[in-house]
Chain A
Amino acid sequence: MGGLTALWGGMPAWSQVLLWDLAKIVAIVVPLLLSVAYLTFVERKVIGYMQVRIGPNRVGPRGWLQPIADGLKLLLKEIIVPSGANKGLFIVAPVLALMPALVAWAVVPFTSTLVLANINAGLLFVLAVTSMGVYGVVIAGWASNSKYAFLGSLRSAAQIVAYEIAMGFALVGVLMAAGTLNLRKIALEQAGGFWHWLFLPLFPLFLVYFIAGVAETNRAPFDVAEGESEIVAGFHVEYSGMTFALFFLAEYANMILVSALTAVLFLGGWLPPFDFAPFTFVPPLGWFLLKVCAILFLYLWLRATFPRYRYDQIMRLGWKVLIPVTLVWIGVMGFVMFFTPWAFVFYR
């Protein structure tokens, strides 16, 4: 132990910073990937019970080892590159899909102190990074040299670009109410009990953000990107083994990311719903995880409940319903905040 401390002290400062940051990144990414693995398990179980089935229960006690078995299976499967496919881009596409889903976690505050990079433009950073996720889908569809994959990727990309606008506008409302782009400060603005959380004054934007989040992650009922019954499996129809698994990881990591952001932006992040005991006994990280899990459950519930949207209805909902709702609400907020004495409703 003494030798290790001496070694640490003897290292140059930049390498200490580098190693320390690397350790923090590992401390975020490893639990994240584990929760992705178990989210797939929870999804199958929850939907199973909703459909009066049991779900996976064979591997390990009560099926708890199922995600490990799935992961192993995908690791060992052969990666087949279709003939006529653009090999380099075909392999790069899943990486491009996963990368933004992991990078955005750099600015997500888990508690008021537990955040990797507490940057001032955090909200913008998240928007910019997640907007790059669509490349994985587009490139995968094109590089596969298959018309099903190509059609799936075009549909999905148009959908993602459309809902990104609604999502961005919903975040403008958050920005107006919180007065800062720093995610940690946005959460701290909501301190003092659940009636201070932003989902109440911004309720329309909260709904729009969550719906757009579901559409952005290509989840049911907006999962036309996969659309098994129409285009086989959409953009990843030609993918197998680990390359397919990366798309899967990206989808679930994005789900968790949207849930975490919803928790931070609208539901007070790590703050308890009441500022007195016994609610303050739960550690801040516990509240944060609880909120994220509740939103994730909503995702699964949606998938078990709703049939898939028709494509033109998705586009209509995005452009003609969600975007006008956000625009009107931003206008209302601006008017109330600057011309009426009720500005306190939105901005403390």
Chain B
Amino acid sequence: MTFESAVFYFFSAILLGSAAMVVTIRNSVKSALFLVLAFVSAACLWMLLRAEFLAIVLVLVYVGAVMVLFLFVVMMIDVNMAVLRQGFGEYLPIGGLVAVLMVVEIALAVSPRQLGPTRIAASLVHAPPLHMSNTRALGVLLYTTYVYPFEIAAVILLVAIIAAIALTMRRRPDTKYQDPARQVEVRARDRVRLVKMPTEPKA
């Protein structure tokens, strides 16, 4: 076994183990932490493929931002696992069906027909020269050859973000908030009134 394959099996084992823990462990915070571990192991596998940009961005975006916010939510809500598990048998058939469908879809998407050597060779027409680092090559492809699809995808994501915020934001009439401009403009005489008074005459 070469060094690379040893590293591969090491991180794959951690990835699969932590992914299994995500769905089986009872404590939801620990489950989220195992998901973090799964992301990090996946990043290490990508690093092994010399896809350093993807690996680092996975850690930066998913581990550094998404999972932190996720943990936030999980920590603040009190999940009662017993209630959650009540309908387990009831939902098993439909859940199983969805799982099988997903496995089939993934298998189709990454099958040799789709990602085999011939397909990859065909897509290499636009490929940047091999001596470029992975990060630079991705940047060149995204911002020259595929700039329109990339920008359109970005705009769609932006629209989705704004839509999500607009749908979930409720303006409650009793919400208190500060207006910094007014806070800055305030002068002492607006808040405090100094009154001149004669001192009490001595008794």
A residues at B contact (CB < 8 Å): 89, 119-121, 124-125, 127-129, 131-132, 134-135, 138-139, 142, 150, 154, 157-158, 161, 164, 181, 312-313, 316
Contact A124:B60 (CB < 8 A) given known A131-B65, A142-B29? yes
Closest to B135 in A: A121
Which residues of chain B are near A181, meaning CB under 8 Å?
Answer: 135
Check: B72 CB closer than 8 A to any chain A CB: yes
Complex CA distance for A134 and B66, rounded to whole angstroms: 12
- Residues of B close to A142: CB separation below 8 A: 29, 71, 75
In the complex, which of the residues A124, A125, A129, A150 contacts B75, with contact meaning CB atoms closer than 8 Å?
A: A150
A138 to B69, CA, bound (A): 10
Question: Given the complex, which residues of B lie within 8 Å of A313, measured CB to CB?
Answer: 180
How many B residues have CB within 8 A of the partner chain? 24
Docked Cα-Cα span, A69 to B65, in Å, equals 38
What is the CA–CA distance of A164 and B59 in the complex, to the nearest angstrom? 14
Residues of B within 8 A of A (CB): 29-30, 33, 36, 52-53, 56-57, 59-60, 63-65, 68-69, 71-72, 75-76, 133-135, 178, 180
* B135 surroundings in chain A (CB, below 8 A): 120-121, 124, 181
A196 to chain B, nearest CB (A): 23
**Taking CB as reference atom, which chain B residue is nearest A154?**
B72
Q: Are the CB atoms of A124 and B36 closer together than 8 Å?
A: no
Complex CA–CA separation, A142 to B77 (angstroms): 12
Q: Known: A120-B52, A125-B56, A142-B75. Contact between A135 and B180, CB under 8 A?
A: no
The smallest beta-carbon distance between B195 and chain A, in angstroms, is 30
Minimum Cβ distance to chain B for residue A154 (Å): 7
The residue of chain A having its C-beta at the shortest distance from the C-beta of B75 within the complex is A142
The answer for the CA separation of A312 and B183 in the assembled complex, in Å, is: 13
A161 close to B68 (CB less than 8 A): yes
A134 adjacent to B68 (CB under 8 Å): yes
